[in-house]
Structure 1
Amino acid sequence: MTLLKRILSAAFVALFATPGLAAEPSVVRIGVAQQGTGDPPTFGGSPAATAQLQHRVEDALQPAHVKVEWIFFKGAGPAVNEALANKQVDFAYQGDLPSVLGRANGLKTHLLLASNVRTGVYLAVPADSDIKSVKDLKGKRVGLFRGTNLQLVADNVLKENNLAERDLRIINLDTAAALAAVASKGVDAVFSDYSLFKLQQQGLARIVYASRDDGVQFTRQAHLLVLDEFESAHPAIVQTVVTSVVQAAQWQSDEANRAALFALWAKSGVPVESWQSEFKPGQLKERSSPLIDPFLRARYQAVADDALRLNLIRQPVSVDGWFEPKYLDQALKTLKLESYWPRFDASGKPLAS
């Protein structure tokens, strides 16, 4: 057992020796807001995915005889919210908009760390389409996965181009259906994620727009959250899970691990070439950061404000008190990573060290 594992194991045992805390569960359930691929199912593109593929959470909880289940949801964020409401999962890897919708509807959760930030949205069209930009979408059939963090970025992109969803013929499609629709010319265009690179490489689609090119206000964020009730009963498990994901974030932030990282993520069914297109050289550290900094807080508040403006929620949502950084802070201290990742201000500019 490594020194770090011995430290985590000792801390875990010490916390559970504290009077008044509930006995540890036999299984920890982590919901994932996307469809997994393979047997067992896997995913890619984030520190949470890296942690799952490297079995970091499982290894860290093994001394306490706690098993880990990763539960994947084809219905993405909305389906995860339903599972959280029914207490079918304890933790969740999810995007910003779905979590805001959940909070607006009374879900009691805490956001623990960032897990895949500054992620863009792509607009793709059939390979022979004459659509060249977002401005050409008026009146077109456009696939969009509603209720996910794709939707809000797409809506803001449309607004930037003097359009709105009502100006298009929006068809609600999950990721797999969107890819099939654009490849078969069943729609005129789709807003989706890095999955589109594979279609482009196969000559079945053409990416005509990348939202990240227009600034951080057109990016989406994802995170790991926990149900308040589970956190209150099992803080040691929460700490262990957070520390394990931070370890994965550090490993995938190292550009020296780029080839190994993309090969690992390729087990999710997304080819290495797509990950190379999604993560340009030098971007790993910035986009793998787990930090709860002013940038992350500001982006989540902006998502909440936009969701209200677009009538996706009926009442304002504040991020005050939603983030719980103590587990992340402890992980950074334990792993001696307090200064490893750069912090950014609300506008996305680096903060002075």
Structure 2
Amino acid sequence: MKRLFTALASAFAVSALAGVLSVAQAQEKPEIIRLAVPDLSAGSQHSGGGVVDVLRSRQIFEQAFADQGIEVQWLFFKGAGPVINEALANGQVDFAYLGDLAAIIGKASGLDTRLLSASTRGTKQYLGVVPGSGIKTLSDLKGKRVAIFKGTATQLSFNAALASQGLKERDLQVINLDFNAATSALAARQIDATWGSSNLLALRERGLAETPLSTRDLGGAGSIQSVLVGSGAFVERYPQVVAHLLEAQQQAVQWLRDEDNKTAYIELVAGLASYPTTILQQDLEQERFAEIFDPRLDAAFLQRLQAGVDLAAEQRLIRRGFAVEQWAEPRFLEAALAAQKPRTAALVP
């Protein structure tokens, strides 16, 4: 009997200790949250566009974690996705807002990331060409010098656009240049064409480029999806912090998806990124913000990402594909959406 009581006491002690550890772990929090973003600005200020600029300008994350004493640090990278993946691999950042290809490459390369939210879907891209070149279609690019920022969402976008016309990169003379270098090279007529976003509209306004087509003209082929990913180690260690971050992100998402705020958003990004307001107005005038900034990891979005993974594997941008559904961790976003269901329901298309 004495042995039985001793065993029971020992078991109770172990159980109590486990409970204490469980509570301690649940209350554990980081000193800092580090968020990585590709820097899209053409000026001295930082800009990531979309939800990032709204979050930063309104100090939403900073306010959300102030009472917990958690610092929020935004890290902007001109090297875009490839450099951010390196930072994730080295444990230097906890979350990253990334275009689809960079996030896919990271996951396919063995980075332990969790797909937490969509940040944009169906972002339009343009073909920019030298004025008077006679290039009107993607088929006209055969044998031409085309600048692409490899390892970024732009490369996957361009490959998807080419594939829609039965073409591949090897049909062209592809040169690896970052966005600013490609824009400068096109303006200087050192290349025949490039593929990019609204920066090409700015060149067109100055008479330095023509934009004969966009992904809209291709039925959406080549449009870009962007995501929020988190470090697997961070997500597992601080699930309550991740949940709170996704709840806070919804404040910016709700504001963005309200069409009445489109003008204010354009002015915000124009100021931060040093882009002409008229250029952003041209780029976004036909876009529905409720659709572009839908954060859900719904079947349609995951299918688009899976198509990106499959194309990246086929084009040998990654060694092997993977199942996007196994990458996605939607529970935090779903909880955040459920908490704001009355407001969110009106915006879901």
**TM-score normalized with structure 2 length:** 0.88
CA shift, 1:282, in A, is 5.4
Distance in structure 2 (CA, Å) of the matches to 1:215 and 1:132? 16
Q: Is 2:26–2:240's contact at 8 Å kept on the other side of the alignment?
A: no
1:250 equivalent among 247, 254, 262: 254
Distance in structure 2 (CA, Å) of the matches to 1:202 and 1:38? 18
Number of residue equivalences: 327
Q: Is 1:291–1:341's contact at 8 Å kept on the other side of the alignment?
A: no
Amino acid at match of 2:346: Y
Any idea what the Cα deviations from partners look like across 1:50-73, whole Å, max 9, x if unmatched? 212221111111111212111111
Q: Which has the higher helix share?
A: 2
Any idea what the Cα deviations from partners look like across 1:244-275, whole Å, max 9, x if unmatched? 22211110111111111111111222222222
Quick one: structure 1 residues 195 and 39, their matched pair in 2 at CA, closer, same or farther if it must change by over 3 Å? Answer: closer
Amino acid at match of 2:67: P
2:190 equivalent among 186, 191, 195: 186
- Structure of larger gyration radius: 2
Any idea what the Cα deviations from partners look like across 1:10-48, whole Å, max 9, x if unmatched? xxxxxxx9432363222211001234565652332x123
Distance in structure 2 (CA, Å) of the matches to 1:310 and 1:324? 27
Correspondence for 1:302: 307
1:120 equivalent among 120, 124, 141: 124
SS at match of 2:325: coil
1:23 equivalent among 21, 28, 31: 28
SS at match of 2:120: coil
Quick one: structure 1 residues 202 and 147, their matched pair in 2 at CA, closer, same or farther if it must change by over 3 Å? Answer: same
Correspondence for 1:260: 264
Q: Is 1:48–1:224's contact at 8 Å kept on the other side of the alignment?
A: no
After superposing the two structures, state which structure 1 stretch, 32-41 or 233-242, moved more. 32-41
Correspondence for 1:330: 335
Q: Is 2:254–2:344's contact at 8 Å kept on the other side of the alignment?
A: no
CA shift, 1:203, in A, is 1.8
Distance in structure 2 (CA, Å) of the matches to 1:19 and 1:133? 61
Quick one: structure 1 residues 198 and 159, their matched pair in 2 at CA, closer, same or farther if it must change by over 3 Å? Answer: same
Correspondence for 1:174: 178
SS at match of 2:24: coil
CA shift, 1:161, in A, is 2.6
After superposing the two structures, state which structure 1 stretch, 255-264 or 49-58, moved more. 49-58
Correspondence for 1:6: none
Any idea what the Cα deviations from partners look like across 1:88-117, whole Å, max 9, x if unmatched? 100000011111111111111111111111
Distance in structure 2 (CA, Å) of the matches to 1:41 and 1:65? 25
CA shift, 1:281, in A, is 4.2
**TM-score normalized with structure 1 length:** 0.87
1:64 equivalent among 64, 68, 78: 68
Distance in structure 1 (CA, Å) of the matches to 2:67 and 2:78? 32
Distance in structure 1 (CA, Å) of the matches to 2:38 and 2:251? 21
CA shift, 1:224, in A, is 0.7
Any idea what the Cα deviations from partners look like across 1:169-222, whole Å, max 9, x if unmatched? 111011111111111111110011122111112222111110133224432100
CA shift, 1:122, in A, is 0.9
After superposing the two structures, state which structure 1 stretch, 328-337 or 56-65, moved more. 328-337
Which stretches in structure 2 are left out of the alignment for 5+ residues?
A: 1-21
Which stretches in structure 1 are left out of the alignment for 5+ residues?
A: 1-16, 344-353
| Percent identity for Structure 1 against Structure 2 | 37
Amino acid at match of 2:37: V
Distance in structure 2 (CA, Å) of the matches to 1:262 and 1:68? 25
